[in-house]
Each structure stands twice: as C-alpha cells, then as structure tokens.
Chain A
Amino acid sequence: MIRDIAIISGLTLAAALFVAGAAEAASPQEMLKRYEAEAKAAGDFPEGGFSAERGKAFYLAKHKGGKPATPSCTTCHTDSPLKAGKTRTGKVIQPMALSKTPDRYSDPEKVEKWFRRNCRSVLGRECTPREKGDFLTYMISQ
C-alpha cells in the first residue's frame, strides 16, 4: 500500500518535473538544437549548419506575401538588432541581439509565439525551421 503510494507519487513527481522542464527550458543553444532537429526532420538542414549571414539577409530582406504594414523585420526592429525597436503603436522593443538582452530566447513558448506572429505578419506564412535557425544564429552572434 505504502509502496504503491510511493511509486505513484514518485512517478507524478517525475512527470511534473518533466513537464516543468519542458515549459521552462532553455538556453539559446538548446533552441538552436531544437530547430536543427526540426530542420533535419523536414529534410531542410543545410550543409555546414545554420548561417548567421543567411540569417542577416533574411532579417534585412523585404518580403512579399505578408501584411502591407510589415514588409520586413526591420519595420519594427530597425536595421540593426543592436538597436531598440518600436512597435507600430510606439512601444519600445528591446534589442534582439543576445548581447544586449541576454535573457532572450530562453523561453521556447515565447520564441515560438513571436515566430508564429511575426512570420505570418511579415512573410504571410510560418517560418521554416531552417529560417528560424539561421535567424537565431544571427541574433546570437550579434
């Protein structure tokens, strides 16, 4: 009886820790590993790994297919990740460069939320894991 209780509570604790661990995560490096796994699963992982140059080009490009008010990442985040950006309503956005805001990219839920929102706004579609990986590599390098 007590053994059963111990087993069940131990399992619940392990499950809770597992869930909590998944919710909390991560470091930017772990996010990159995650996108690497996703890109490999999609058959899209580039030779030589993710590239900061490609990420930079992706960041600066003017994309078609998105919403007219947000043609590019630079619309709100300015032309450099080191600078603070501004939303269309005037609210300040902290710089995206990891060196400027070291606690960025550590919450997978938050990262995914903003990728979903902003990729749909700028590109009109979800970003592929390769694009996310390149982008994150660029931000980590800044």
Chain B
Amino acid sequence: MKTRIITLGAAAAALVAAGLATAAVSDERYPPVSDAMTKKECGDCHMAFQPAFLPARSWEKIMDNLSDHFGEDASLPADKVEHIKKYLMANAADKRWGSKMMRGVRKDWTPLRITELPYWKREHDEEVPARAWKDPKVGSKANCKACHRYADTGIYEAEEYEYGGYYGRRGDDEYKYKRKRYDDDDEYKYKRKRYDDDEYEYKRKRYDDDDEYKYRKYRERGERYYDRRRYDDDDD
C-alpha cells in the first residue's frame, strides 16, 4: 500500500515536472540562429528566421532557388549555399520533436513561407488587425521584429511584445498621442485648471455651505434633505 502511494506520487511528480519542462520549452521560444554565416547572409534583407520554423524540405527548396527568392535575387557562392543549407536542414522543424510549427503541415506540402503555416496564421490572424501589416512601421508580415522585439534571440512571447512592441502601449502612436495631450494640449490643461478655478471652487463651495442649495440639490435627486437630516440627528 505504502509503496503504491509512493510510486503513484513519484509518477505524478514526474508528470508534473515533464509538463513544466515542456511548458518552458513550448512557450514561444525557439533556438536562435547559431550559425554565424547563416545569420549574416540571411539577415541582409530580413531578420534571419530561425530554422525551427520550417521543415527541412522547405529550407532545401529555398536554398536551391536563391536566384528567385520571393521576387528578388538572393544568390550566393555555391560553398556558402551548401553550408547554410546544411545548417538549416539539420535544425529544421521536423528535426525537433513536437514542433508546433508542423501542425497542419501535410507531408506532401512544402511550405515556403513561414507566414502560410497554419500555426502562424492561427497565432496572428485573430490578434493582429489587418491594418497593422500595411502600417509603414511594420511593412510586411516578414518583419517579425516590428512587434516581437527580441525575435532575433528566438523569444516571441506574448508578454514581451504586448508591452514593448509596436502594438504595445509604449509604441502605439495613438497612446503616445494621448499622452502628449496631457503635456501639450492647452485646451486640456485649461480644462484641468478649471478644477482649480475660482468659479468652480465657488460652485463647489456652494454645495458645501449653502443649505438651501444643498436642499434643492437633494430634492432634484429625489432625496429629501430634511428627511436625511432627521436620520442624522441623534437627539430626535
């Protein structure tokens, strides 16, 4: 009986630990590009995408067709192409276990764009408004760093981009504009000043000092000042 409880407890603990471990892995963190040549050459025009984002066959197809790379020529000397291709294919999405990127990717499909992966679409299509992609600060869906500030280190976690990226509070132009209003907008400052203004203070004072006004105010609200007073007086 005792050994059974112990083994069950150990099994449960192991499961919890495994769950926690996978949680740390499956949070939106991917191994960063560790090969210097890949990072340099593939980072010339866009952030060097982590190889864990596409299956090996996709990387092979991309590296074999660099002279027609999504509408531009990205050709390289053959030895560099081989080196980079080897690195990408060795660290591809289907070389890792349980990769979320491979969800919904059928074996007969060779996705070329990370942004057409079902998992990518699921993560972005609901949360990111369509106007974001057209905004000049973002430019394109391939511009990960516009919102995921530490994307080049492999970290794409929600907390990180929500508060730091373009659509986070600190970056949002609309929010900045509203903040500026507090500092710059004379009209707003004027309205604020009214709280300090004599006339307003006078009106407020009336509220506190003028019994008749108070009485009227209470009646307008449906309360009977006189009746209220009766509740307050302890002597009656």
Per the bound structure, the CA–CA distance linking A89 and B44 in Å amounts to 11
Minimum C-beta distance from B156 to chain A (A): 17
Write the residues of chain B forming the contact surface with A, with a CB cutoff of 8 angstroms.
45-47, 67-68, 71-76, 138-140, 142-143, 146
B residues near A118, Cβ cutoff 8 Å: 73
* Chain A 64-97 interface residues, beta-carbon cutoff 8 Å to B: 67-70, 86-91
* Chain A 114-138 interface residues, beta-carbon cutoff 8 Å to B: 116-118, 120-121
Is A40 close to B, CB under 8 A? no
Q: Are B46 and A121 in contact (CB under 8 A)?
A: no
Minimum C-beta distance from B80 to chain A (A): 10
Q: Are A88 and B73 in contact (CB under 8 A)?
A: no
Per the bound structure, the CA–CA distance linking A73 and B45 in Å amounts to 15
B residues near A117, Cβ cutoff 8 Å: 72-75
Most buried by A among B46, B72, B140, B142: B72
Q: Are A87 and B71 in contact (CB under 8 A)?
A: no
Per the bound structure, the CA–CA distance linking A90 and B72 in Å amounts to 14
B143 contact from A90, A116, A120, Cβ within 8 A: A90
Q: Are A68 and B71 in contact (CB under 8 A)?
A: yes
Is A113 close to B, CB under 8 A? yes
Per the bound structure, the CA–CA distance linking A68 and B45 in Å amounts to 18
A88 contact from B67, B71, B138, Cβ within 8 A: B71
B146 contact from A68, A69, A70, A90, Cβ within 8 A: A90
Per the bound structure, the CA–CA distance linking A87 and B44 in Å amounts to 9
20 interchain pairs (CB within 8 A)?
A: A67-B68, A67-B71, A67-B72, A67-B73, A68-B71, A69-B71, A87-B45, A87-B46, A88-B45, A88-B71, A88-B72, A88-B139, A89-B45, A89-B142, A90-B46, A90-B139, A90-B142, A91-B47, A117-B75, A120-B73
B residues near A120, Cβ cutoff 8 Å: 67, 73, 75
Q: Are A89 and B72 in contact (CB under 8 A)?
A: no
Minimum C-beta distance from A53 to chain B (A): 27
A residues near B146, Cβ cutoff 8 Å: 90
Minimum C-beta distance from B147 to chain A (A): 11
Most buried by B among A69, A88, A116: A88
- Shortest Cβ distance from A119 into B: residue: B73
Q: Are B71 and A90 in contact (CB under 8 A)?
A: no
Per the bound structure, the CA–CA distance linking A57 and B169 in Å amounts to 44
Per the bound structure, the CA–CA distance linking A8 and B70 in Å amounts to 50
B76 contact from A86, A87, A88, A113, Cβ within 8 A: A113
Q: Other than the known A68-B71, A89-B143, what 9 A-B pairs have Cβ atoms closer than 8 Å?
A: A67-B71, A67-B72, A86-B139, A88-B72, A90-B46, A90-B143, A117-B73, A118-B73, A121-B73
Q: Are B72 and A121 in contact (CB under 8 A)?
A: yes
- Shortest Cβ distance from B71 into A: residue: A69
A residues near B72, Cβ cutoff 8 Å: 67, 69-70, 88, 117, 121
Q: Are B138 and A90 in contact (CB under 8 A)?
A: yes
- Shortest Cβ distance from B142 into A: residue: A89
The digit string for A11-32, where 1 denotes a CB below 8 A from any CB of B, is 0000000000000000000000
B residues near A88, Cβ cutoff 8 Å: 45, 71-72, 139-140
